[in-house]
Amino acid sequence: MQQYIAQRLLLMIPTLFGVALFIFLLMRVLPGDIVEIRFTSEGGFVSEEMIQIERARLGLDQPLPVQFIKWMYGLIGQPSVDAQFPFIHLQAPDLGVSMWTGRPITEEIAIRFQLSLQVAIMGTLLSILIAIPLGTLAAMYQDTWIDYSVRIFSVGGLAIPSFWLGILIILFLLNTFNWIPPFIFTPIWEDPGKNLTQLIWPTLAIGYSYSAIATRMMRSSMLEVLRDDYVRTARAKGLLEHVTVVRHVLPNAMLPVITVVGLEFAFLLGGLVVTEQVFNLNGIGKLFVEAINHRDYTLTQALVLLVAVTFIFVNFVVDLLYAAFDPRIKYE
Amino acid sequence: MNDTSAWSTLKHLLLEKPLGAIGFYLIVLMILSALLANFISPYNPLKTNFGNALQGPNFFHWMGTDTFGRDIFSRLLHGAQTAMLIGFSTSLLGSILGALLGVMGAYFGGKVDLILQRVLDVFMAFPIIIMALAVVAAMGTGTFNLIIAIAIPIIPRVARVVRSSALAVRQTTYVEAATALGSSHSRVILRHMMPNVMAPFLIMITAQLGQAIVLEASLNFIGLGVAEPTPAWGLMLRSAIDFAESAPWMGIFPGLAISIAVFAFNVFGDSLRDVLDPKLG
């Protein structure tokens, strides 16, 4: 197991390196000079000299390999002085400085990460809370009206994009209560009530959309397990149906759903880009759109990398969880 | 897959899968309204008329008008053009490139396959929308760039699925025979292997279509897609937020259009998968 974990962690390195290289090249090699685009979009006359100065300030006058190595160097962190643990860097990686605001990117992200993370976690939990009971019911009462209603509900989740559901929620709140959720973020430990009145709505929008695939998965995996031999045995020895389902079917049927939900969590960070826009939430997603609008290449680069790292890491954790929940799976 | 079998597959789907049939007819309806938008829409979708601004649904404007007095129903019909153009071109472009890469990986095997797989891994490490946004960030907005941005994240996903089918095709005797006859690599790949991975290829195209339309709407919605005044569903929703109170119809009808489109492509795609490849169900 330990060997497997080590192997997986090592395999992440080339993928992450590839991701970093891809993003870096995408931002630099494609036509259009960052500085020129930024100056012309601001309007007014700009002299060649000013462009050169700005390029030098941002370090864009250096050869590409030098720029890339510098970026990587900051990411990995300065070589540790601590000789005993040369591989452990507790200091946050240096992501550079935002081209637009001039503030350190780590700082820009840190302020907003809290909000996005909370919505992502709550959205994932909500989608589990919807998917597991509904999927179970649909499978237990297959081809009855219960099953059909659940399936229609979950197809709806697929077809209604979370940003449209968000707009509908806002329309509903406005027209029924003449109220819209507050725009200012309050951390949950400061005032949970205030925090939830703001974040419960995007959670609803996202949770419903993301429950769709998980519900379908839960239903089909329940149907499969319900036909297994050990379930027949459990029934044959006279166990009550709900005991059979809770003890024998559910734990096994939930396994594939873990994978789906885990992947969704990683996707949520991406899905937030649009949903945060609807609710005017100042999170990672909004920062991302702002970064692109301002042509803030360093910030865009850092955010894409952050999402990719989360994505790869969550995949890895899901694989491990899978092994932890299913004794039949052994990673050697 | 020749014409008659494609036709019989479709006939089978329409008769056996009611939900898939509904999806199919909705898709046909959307394609028709996209093609005929110029003839059937009651108003010019771009013509502003401030005297008519923010009218609720009524006899003259079935779905009301927007802030510029433009007829929402006409804009929805023309928005179908944008959605269908971008949806079909991106999923076709992404799926064809993806299928080529997948088949090439399976055909050449060894190092080529290994490198291709690693590169695809890198591309799969991004959620679709993040990948598309990164491309938009680098290339800028506009219809053409939007198509590229949506097509790129589709490539690795199709390549994966097609590659696994192509691995089996690679082992067949007709590929062996073609190779023995001295056919060139490109001939074996294009004439012998590609036609035989048609089933997963078609499944992936329809599966990506719904997603491509959501993605197109999302990018338009956050203002990184096509530019005003082009009628596009996501863009229409974008302007609706500010008028949520005074003109809720601005946010309801374009969203319904997106949902119907995604629903149609999803249920049609599901049924097509069931019919073409019951194992994948």
Q: Mind telling me how many Å the CA of B209 is from chain A's nearest CA?
A: 12
Cα A208 off chain centre by: 16
Q: What are phi and psi of A49, to 5 degrees?
A: -65, -45
- In whole angstroms, how large is the CA radius of gyration of chain B? 22
CA distance B66 to B72: 7
Q: What are phi and psi of B181, to 5 degrees?
A: -75, -5
Q: Mind telling me how many Å the CA of B257 is from chain A's nearest CA?
A: 10
Q: Which residue has the higher pLDDT, B28 or B9?
A: B28
Length of chain B: 281
CB contacts under 8 A, A 196-215 vs B, are: none
Residue among A207, A245, A195, A201 at smallest CA distance from A129: A207
Say yes or no for a CB contact (<8 Å) between A167 and B263: no
Q: 């096994």: which residue's tokens?
A: A252
Residue among B257, B216, B190, B195 at smallest CA distance from B89: B216
Contact B41, B214 (CB under 8 A): no
Residues of chain A with C-beta less than 8 angstroms from the C-beta of B211: none
Question: Do A229 and A148 have their domain in common?
Answer: yes
Question: Do A79 and A203 have their domain in common?
Answer: no
Q: What pLDDT, on the 0 to 100 scale, is given for residue B3?
A: 54
Q: By three-state DSSP, how is residue A41 classified?
A: helix
Q: Which residue has the higher pLDDT, B127 or A132?
A: A132
Residue among A304, A262, A296, A31 at smallest CA distance from B128: A304
Question: Do A130 and A55 have their domain in common?
Answer: no
CA distance A160 to A172: 16
Q: What pLDDT, on the 0 to 100 scale, is given for residue A37?
A: 66
Question: Do A194 and A298 have their domain in common?
Answer: yes
With a cut of 50, list the residues of chain A below it in pLDDT: 80, 83, 85-90
Choose among B133, B139, B259: nearest Cβ to A159.
B259
The DSSP string of B186-212 is: HHIIIIIIGGGGHHHHHHHHHHHHHHH
- Burial label for B31, CB within 10 Å (0-12, 13-18, 19+), is middle
Question: Do A224 and A153 have their domain in common?
Answer: yes
Number of Cβ atoms within 10 Å of the Cβ of A69: 12
The DSSP string of A119-169 is: HHHHHHHHHHHHHHHHHHHHHHTTTSHHHHHHHHHHHHHHHS-HHHHHHHH
Choose among A159, A297, A307: nearest Cβ to B130.
A307
Residues of chain A with C-beta less than 8 angstroms from the C-beta of B126: 19, 270, 304, 307-308, 311
Best A12, A16, A164, A279 member to test B by mutation, with max B CBs in 10 Å, is A164
CB contacts under 8 A, A 133-162 vs B, are: 155, 158-161
Best B114, B209, B241 member to test A by mutation, with max A CBs in 10 Å, is B241
CA distance B149 to B140: 10
The structural domain count of chain A equals 2
Peptide bond into B229 cis (omega under 30): yes
Q: What are phi and psi of A82, to 5 degrees?
A: -75, 105
Structure tokens at B193: 């292997």
CA distances to A269, B169, B268 from B196, in Å? 37, 7, 22
Structure tokens at B182: 């001295």
Q: By three-state DSSP, how is residue B183 classified?
A: coil
Q: Measured on CA atoms in the order A225, A230, A232, A236, is the torsion positive or negative?
A: negative
Those residues with Cβ within 8 angstroms of residue B259's Cβ, 6 or more apart along the chain or in another chain: A159, A160, A161, A164
Residue among B45, B34, B32, B106 at smallest CA distance from B72: B45
Best B17, B22, B115, B122 member to test A by mutation, with max A CBs in 10 Å, is B122
Confidence label for B280 from pLDDT (cuts 50, 70 and 90)? very low
Residue among A318, A306, A261 at smallest CA distance from A116: A306
Q: What pLDDT, on the 0 to 100 scale, is given for residue B259?
A: 93
CA distance B157 to A5: 26
Question: Do A60 and A166 have their domain in common?
Answer: no
Residue A246 maps to which CATH number? 1.10.3720.10
User: Domain span at residue A66?
Assistant: 14-90
The answer, yes or no, to whether residue B147 has pLDDT greater than 50, is yes
Say yes or no for a CB contact (<8 Å) between A161 and B259: yes
Strands (E), A162-274: none
Contact B271, B13 (CB under 8 A): yes
The mean-pLDDT minimum among A73-82, A290-299, B77-86, B102-111 falls in A73-82
Structure tokens at B240: 């609706």
Q: What pLDDT, on the 0 to 100 scale, is given for residue A90?
A: 47
Q: Which residue has the higher pLDDT, B180 or A184?
A: B180
Question: Do A129 and A192 have their domain in common?
Answer: yes
Domain limits, chain B: 85-280
Contact A283, A199 (CB under 8 A): no
CA distance A222 to A251: 10
Question: Do A62 and A191 have their domain in common?
Answer: no
Give percent of chain B with pLDDT exceeding 90. Answer: 23
Per-residue DSSP letter, A80? P
CA distance B241 to A183: 14
CA distance A275 to A209: 11
Strand partners, B65: B71
Say yes or no for a CB contact (<8 Å) between B128 and A269: no
Question: Do A294 and A210 have their domain in common?
Answer: yes
Q: What pLDDT, on the 0 to 100 scale, is given for residue A229?
A: 86
A3 falls within a domain: no
The stretches of A59-104 forming alpha helices (DSSP H) are 64-76
CA distance A251 to A167: 37
CA distance B108 to B110: 7
Say yes or no for a CB contact (<8 Å) between B125 and A311: yes
Contact A206, A162 (CB under 8 A): yes
Question: Do A156 and A70 have their domain in common?
Answer: no
Say yes or no for a CB contact (<8 Å) between B133 and A292: yes
Give percent of chain B with pLDDT exceeding 70. Answer: 97
Q: By three-state DSSP, how is residue A104 classified?
A: strand
A184 falls within a domain: yes
Residue among B256, B247, B258, B253 at smallest CA distance from B69: B247
Q: What pLDDT, on the 0 to 100 scale, is given for residue A32?
A: 58
Q: By three-state DSSP, how is residue A238 classified?
A: coil
Confidence label for B27 from pLDDT (cuts 50, 70 and 90)? very high
Q: By three-state DSSP, how is residue A256 classified?
A: helix
Q: Measured on CA atoms in the order A288, A290, A295, A298, is the torsion positive or negative?
A: negative
CATH assignment, B85-280: 1.10.3720.10
Say yes or no for a CB contact (<8 Å) between B122 and A15: yes
Mean pLDDT of chain B: 85
A97 falls within a domain: no
Choose among A161, A167, A269: nearest Cβ to B240.
A167
Number of Cβ atoms within 10 Å of the Cβ of B220: 28
Q: By three-state DSSP, how is residue A97 classified?
A: strand
Residue of A nearest to B252 (CA): A168
CA distances to A156, A172, A177, A178 from A193, in Å? 30, 21, 18, 19
Query: Of A90, A115, A131, which residue constitutes the final position of a domain?
Result: A90
